[in-house]
Structure 1
Amino acid sequence: MGGITTDGANQGLNPGYRRMRRVATGLLVLMAAVYVAARMHEAAHPAIGFVRAFAEAAMVGGLADWFAVTALFRHPLGLPIPHTAIIPRNKDRIGTTLAAFLKDNFLVPSVVARRMQRVDVAGAIGRFLSAPAGAGRGGATRALAETMEALDPERLGGLVKAALLKRLGAVDFAPPLGAALSAALDRGRHRPVMDAAIDWAGRTLVANELLIRRMVEERSGSVLRWTGLDAALANRIMDGLLRMADELADDQEHPLRLKAEHALHDLAHRLQTDPAMAAQVARIRDELIGNPALRRWLDGMWERARAGMLRAARDPGSAMTGQMGEAVRQLGRMLEEDPRARATFNRAARRAAVGVSARYGTAIVRLVSDTVRGWDAGTITRRLEGAVGRDLQYIRVNGTLVGGLVGVTLHLLSVTVFPN
């Protein structure tokens, strides 16, 4: 990284960093050339001694800072000097420390609540959604896409699935199911379903008429078969079933319909009040949650959702066209212009953020730590070097110049305070 090494680990870094590295290295080379020239002509004039002292101390300062900066990321000149290549050797500890820093400073519920008080989430989302297609979205959506791709998809998906299953497992479904069934019965919304069931039953009877007749005849006694009454019995049973189906379809006040409705009302009441019924619903819920088929379905749903979000993030213009885009823009305008909606959304976002930090802070920390641990040494070196390398090159430049000034100061003291 320091500009003296030329290995492939420095490839792929941003142009600004490479340019600043060349400046720092060029300044060091310039100081070396000035020192050699001043040393050769120092006897020509006393002032050249100041130039030599400046260049000499600048070289020392520049080389020291080059060594320090390079030692962060690799072995200087490829030599295995102790306490160099600090970041590659300690990447696991860096991941753990970074995760702990995030948890202690950003994922504490009280800190999250305090910070969220000052954040207008609804306004920011509203401005983002209501902007014309493509306006200001490129950087944000690219950052979202890169973030989603950088995180381990299996671990992130597992985190999402675990959170969803945990939330489902804590829900008592019986009371809301009972309330929904009761409301549907009060408004007559069960009648189309009942009509469809009766119609299906009638058509099933007609379609299986021969099978029903054969079953009756086979189960009739030998006396009935000998007298031929088995066919008459089958006819009567079949005619009775078809007539009952017609009566159920035509008469909304049929006794069987009323009994079915009464049973549904009783079920709705028990769902809301009976602990035994609630426990039975909870058992069914737990069996569904533990079913591998449901987990596979959730895996597929997560992959489709992640792929859809990545497509929308990479191409926000296409995602914001047509009726869908107009609906999204209307939602954005509402969040921007309606103070009540904005306050409600911000309150919900604040509660959600606090809840996530309280429930899943440890899982998020583990995700960050495991992601960093999963990077190889070259990857983490390139990413950190690309992020802070340009600023570290300024340290080299400053070290060169400050070293030169210290050298001039010491030379001035030597010729004035301690003359030969």
Structure 2
Amino acid sequence: MRLVATGLLVLMAAVFLAARQFDHLHPAIGYVRAFSEAAMVGGLADWFAVTALFRHPLHLPIPHTAIIPRNKDRIADTLAAFLRDNFLTPGVVARRMQRLNVAAAAGRWLADPGEGRGRMRAGIGRLAADMLESLDQERLGGMAKRAVAGRLRALELAPLLGRALETAMREDRHRPLLDGIVRWAAKILEANEHLIRDMVHERAGSVLRWTGLDETLSKKIIAGLQKLIADMAEDPNHPLRAKAEEGLASFAYDLQHDPEKRARVEAFKNELLDNPALADWWLGIWESGRAALLRIARNPDALLTGEFGAAMRQLGETLQGDPRLAETINRFVRRAAVGAASDYGDGIVRLVSDTIRGWDAETVTGRLENAVGRDLQYIRVNGTLVGGLVGVTLHALDGVLG
């Protein structure tokens, strides 16, 4: 497309020279000359505008050219601030989470697992069998009936969760979590494309708005972000995924060593244990399911079709029908999401900013120019043709008015 745009400009120059030589032969040649002359002006002007975005035209240090390389760090900070202000602030996350009813969704799935029932049945069967083999019936029953609440209160969950996450990362069992985050990021970008367009339009100069390049740039920026997310989804070794893993590792460390986060987990645990609905549910489930668990642990097909399956369905119905328990769970999920945005949002923003700042000017220029692609050269082609049409129009008006 560069060759096409440049070739069209050269063609207009050749037509202009030829028309200038034979202008006296026929009045119509004057229109050809006017078209080619104005087309050269339009083509050269748009070539300068397009080139000035990414580099100095003809390598001359003309003021207000090479805009993107000169503003690389500002672009990085602006993009990072956009992500922070529109996606990662606690207020935005809280509003988004306010619409979600996690407890009801979990309750519906437990009440009717659907296609996942077979896999869930086999997994729970193996887990229950292993637990029952390691603990005798009397000890397990006594612990579950008389001391569960006391032991849970004495048990600090945060370090256990931190070590579990640390172990999962060490064994690469955290990948589904990252995949889910990437899918969530894709949906967030899709829902907020208009904000990117508005930001580019507001910050674009008058030349960019007149040529329509601001809309082209916004489309290509969105396409670039979509491609970045797609690359992260496809490439398990993507650098941004590595940074995300660093964040998870930091979170696992904080759960084990940060007193404030450990206190938050303990507060939620105690709040959940104090909920009367949870206590009533647990006692009823244990009394109805204790004997059945010992009989059907080695029969996965019967595990969820018998009393334990009824217990799980009862739990699902309780989550859907008990507003207090559902609100406790939903409140915890909201607080966890808002806390994550508050604690790690700035880290994600710095990741984006530092990554772009770490690129050299040539890399930033090349990636943005390739992302915008052929449309940049179409701007030159359109400028050449539109300039020619303007020239013909002015020539015709000159003839009429003259």
State the TM-score, normalizing by the size of structure 1.
0.45
Q: Which is higher, the Rg of structure 1 or of structure 2?
A: 1
